[in-house]
């Protein structure tokens, strides 16, 4: 690890709880998430695993209302968010995708400062200061003036994480945040995610990184065909899978 990649583990987060109650999500008439109930305690990390097409991304999108449910409820900090304006909710719930979606013509600093300035109404100077803090925290203190094309994939993903953190979210959602990265860059981003977890963020992480899930998750959720088939501690899920579907899945990925 180089000095540049060293993070400043000073910020403490106050993650909120997330509760899904009989949540169903559909595309048109096709149900792709069925009756999912899930409790994520404040400051804990839940990893969602399962085969391609099992509804993992759709479930995440249901939490921050990129996709509105067909039925059921989503609660954050003990209160239903289905009546909230989606834009307001997304200030409270940060999301990081496989592809970083950074603005190519903006520097790392500008990418992180933009929403606090434009959406949260901070002054430009305040937004820059906040962005500097967050970028230092993800280990990019030396690269704030670089544009995305002059950063590695792992660094770009850390800018995307800093951008989400700059909104002071109560919950962070990650959808395959490391799958587009070269193998040597995966570790740094996973380490950063593990740090956020240690600092009290509530996280729901869709991942193919079973080592990460085993090490960092408080809870692992296995989805198949739109349903939660099994959930439990990493030990329960990885060492003592009960269902044939999970046993088959693990035999294919481990
Ligand atoms: N925009 C869409 N319109 C219609 N069906 C969709 C749409 N997006 C996803 N689906 C379908 O919904 C189901 C669940 O998809 P989803 O993307 O949630 O799966 P996933 O578990 O995230 O898969 P992967 O591991 O490949 O990312 C799939 O059958 C998929 O084909
Ligand atoms: Mg997906």
Which residues, including other chains, have CB under 8 Å from residue 189's CB and lie 6 or more apart?
154, 157, 158, 161, 177, 178, 181
Distance 223 CA to ligand 1 centre (A): 12
Return the residue whose CA atom lies nearest to atom 18 of ligand 1.
Answer: 55
Q: In the 8-state DSSP scheme, what is residue 30? A: E
The answer, yes or no, to whether any atom of ligand 1 lies below 6 A from the CB of 188, is no
Indicate which atom in ligand 1 lies nearest the CA of residue 50: 21
Query: In 64-206, at which residue ranges do the beta strands (DSSP E only) sit?
Result: 71-76, 79-80, 93-96, 171-175, 202-206
Q: In the 8-state DSSP scheme, what is residue 29? A: T
Confidence of residue 2 (pLDDT cuts 50, 70, 90): very low
- In the chain, what percentage of residues exceed pLDDT 70? 96
Mean pLDDT calculated for residue range 219-231: 98
pLDDT at 4: 43
List, as ranges, residues with CB under 5 A of the ion ligand 2.
Answer: 57
Residues 103-153 have pLDDT tens digits of: 999 999 999 999 999 999 999 999 999 999 999 999 999 999 999 999 999
Average pLDDT over the chain, rounded to an integer = 94
Total-model pTM: 0.94
> H or E element: which one contains 227?
strand 227-232
Contacts for 165-168: CB closer than 8 Å, 24+ residues apart: 165/11, 165/94, 165/134, 165/137, 165/138, 165/196, 166/112, 166/113, 166/115, 166/116, 166/130, 166/131, 166/134, 167/91, 167/94, 167/115, 167/116, 167/119, 167/120
Residues 32-59 have pLDDT tens digits of: 999 999 999 999 999 999 999 999 999 9
Return the residue whose CA atom lies nearest to atom 14 of ligand 1.
Answer: 55
């Amino acid at each position: 690890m180089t000095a540049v990649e060293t993070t400043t583990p000073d910020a403490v987060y106050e993650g909120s709880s997330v509760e899904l109650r009989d949540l169903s999500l559909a595309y048109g008439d096709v149900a792709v998430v069925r009756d999912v109930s899930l409790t994520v305690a404040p400051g804990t990390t839940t990893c969602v695993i399962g085969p391609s097409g099992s509804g993992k991304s759709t479930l995440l999108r249901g939490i921050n209302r990129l996709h509105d449910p067909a039925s059921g409820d989503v609660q954050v900090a003990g209160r239903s968010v289905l009546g909230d304006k989606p834009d307001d909710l997304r200030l409270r719930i940060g999301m990081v995708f496989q592809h970083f979606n950074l603005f190519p013509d903006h520097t790392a600093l500008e990418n992180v400062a933009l929403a606090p300035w434009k959406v949260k109404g901070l002054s430009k100077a305040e937004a820059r200061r906040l962005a500097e803090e967050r970028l230092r925290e993800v280990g990019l203190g030396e690269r704030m003036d670089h544009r995305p094309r002059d950063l590695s994939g792992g660094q770009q993903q850390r800018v995307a994480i800093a951008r989400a953190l700059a909104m002071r979210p109560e919950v962070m959602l990650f959808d395959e945040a490391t799958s587009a990265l070269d193998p040597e860059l995966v570790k740094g981003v996973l380490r950063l995610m593990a740090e956020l977890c240690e600092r009290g963020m509530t996280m729901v992480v869709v991942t193919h990184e079973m080592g990460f899930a085993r090490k960092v998750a408080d809870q692992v959720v296995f989805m198949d065909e739109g349903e939660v088939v099994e959930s439990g501690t990493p030990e329960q899920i990885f060492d003592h899978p009960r269902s044939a579907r999970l046993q088959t899945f693990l035999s294919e990925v481990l």
